[in-house]
Structure 1
Amino acid sequence: MMKVPSLNVPGLRRRKANGLPGVTAVARIDRRTKRLTKRLQSGEIAIIDHVDIDRVSGEALAACAPAAVINVAASISGRYPNMGPRILVEADIPLVDNTSPELLERIAEGDVIRLHDGMIYLGDELVGKGQEQTAETIDAAMTEARAGLAAQIEAFAANTMEYVRRERDLLIDGVGIPDVRTVMENRHVLIVVRGYHYREDIATLRPYIREYRPVLVGVDGGADALLDAGYLPDMIIGDFDSVSEKALRCGAELVVHAYPDGRAPGLERVHGLGLNAVVFPATGTSEDIAMLLADDKGASLIVAVGTHWTLDEFLDKGRSGMASTFLTRLRVGSKLVDAKGVSRLYRSRISTSSLLLLVATTLVTIGVVLSVSPIGQVWLNALRVAWNGFVFWLVGLFS
């Protein structure tokens, strides 16, 4: 798990307004956590509606350094042991959850609210009450959640069979995969999803990207991840609910992930920007259709960054199963290389200071050897003569 540094800055967490205890700050509200983190500022209070805060969302919230997070839903429902709440608490960010959903109607974006002992005040009015999570309450909830994993595995198996029934033509024969202008034939394709450790993995893959120049595909927010790393995506795939306008306008080919019946909510946003897009109807996830598209278009290798594979990651996506991802990986087979964790595998254990010390020690050793040995004296005299000759020549140029 990525360690989020503690944000215990004096005066930030437990500010007092007019002598009142607790945290007082501007409220930022959104039912979608990933949308909220795009505008949430340090020191503000985030109000979300997020059952089972997943690890990626927890890290994104913690990176914004809010004064507190209020979740109208259960941060840990017991469905599975999700890591998001622990990340927030370890970052010293107060987390209050299980408030009533009406809180979203009683507080408006930009209101100044106060949070104290799970009580939420708007001015002098008590507008909501929830449970403040601590390390102890999270540990207890996680223990209970681990007991429910068997039911989730059963649901995953059932979901897998249902997906095979619905999408066997797409998986087996590639039926429904659209034509695109981006050439992938016999090329490497790098697919970036804004998932676990994506920043570290992109940084580690820089030599690979420089040497092989793969086709760069961003899945929704993965396009922004590529731009942030200094790369221009060749293609962006997704429903476009979490990708920036800057990314959509970067010149990449756009592929909108649509529902099987053809409805594509993301297409409206694309047309609103005056852009065009290819529509790809499918029931799987956007990262799945990115892999299927690359495979169908003849990619020789598919490198995946930030994609989901473990059971915890499947459940973090908020689905009863991630059968589409499981079966897609079986479909693309030996072409797929998962870059997850590459940065941890190849992390250098030699610091820059150690390397400099080694170089300095080597130079000193060479100097000592040259100064005490007969052959070294000859070399030093030759170097002095050469240096004096160079200085004499240099002075002559300006005299």
Structure 2
Amino acid sequence: MVPALSAVWRARVALWRRWPAVRALDAVAAALSLAPALSVTAVEHTGGPRAVLLWLLSIPLAVLVVHHLTLRLTRHGPGRLKWTLSALAAVCYLPVLVVGPSWAASAGLLAACALSALPWRRSVPVVLSIVALDLALSTVVFQQSPTVTAYGTLQVLLTSAVLAALAWTVSITIELNQLRAELVSTAVLRERLRMSRDLHDLLGRGLAAIVLKTELARRYHERGYDAETVDELDQIATVAVQCGDDLRALVTGYRNLSLESEIDVGLELLEEAGIDCHVRVDAHAVPDHVRDTLAWVVREGVTNVLKHSQATTCRLTAEHVGSRVVVTVHNDGVTALDDIPADGAASPANGGPGPRTGNGLRGLHERVAASGGEVSTTTGPDGTWTLMVSMPVTDDPALTEEVSA
């Protein structure tokens, strides 16, 4: 029992140091715990050693009241609660038999502690029992008048209700502050995840393009094509500058991709890699609120084709199907893609081992899921690989146009 109470009080001290509301509640509870002794000395005119004993008895009364009012905030459970409440009941009622009904004002403190420390279904019967016991002492033992009895009962009810409500308010305030701190921590964590995901998405294709153009520049140089070599080096510089611009935009939080731009740039990169590319886009199918997400789909799909396949053809489509826009990136290369099984369809059709799990499509899956969309990937038995993203949109007529490289 002693170690359990010691742990509870260590938690209480931590609350007391951290939260001013707990200190205020403790001050109110300690002040009210002096009321019985003050009532006895003022009404009964008790003095001498008897009065000193009563004031000393107010110390354990205050300690027990403070302990029970904030017991739930310690998060150590109600261990040994029946013993501590029994001790509080003894401090509240045993002096009544010696000094008279003036000490009965402590019954309101006992009721408040029962309301604060016990569950609702258990606290109500305890409070009713305290009120009944107070009525019995007043009418049967001390034979007080109905007016005095009614006043004493009202005092018990008001004291318990006000003090328990104050303890409940302090508890709710602390829990709300703790919840707000947890929400801030969660927001910070989500922002870190978003930054890491966006950083991967932004730099992944740029680095793949730099590698591709560096290889082209090396081959041009070996064959003595100086003009083409210089042109490729200029394009490498341009891609590096664009990566820097994207990175700065990411840091400042004002980055918006253009779906049309991503399609054009992706088409150019695939052509330079010697990949025959076909693009089929419903020009009016993509509303503004999903264009940014679908631009990331195009970027990640093209990046994976460049980095992880030996494709000779690639097909990119964006179609309006019912109330959804479906974007598909399909290539015929033998892949080892940076894949994530978004919906269970990411395993090869021939039952072999699936592609390895990586960050690119995982981040894409998170981004699309946040907008209510779905991501699926499929590896065909002939070495084809398909990335399909479906986004919910409103149903608008679309005009489809075919673009072939």
- The interval holding the TM-score normalised by the smaller chain is under 0.3
Structure with more relative contact order (C-alpha pairs < 8 Å, separation 6 or more):
1
Q: Considering fraction of residues, name the structure with more helix.
A: 2
TM-score (norm 1): 0.21
Q: Considering fraction of residues, name the structure with more strand.
A: 1
**Greater Rg over alpha carbons, structure:** 2
TM-score (norm 2): 0.20
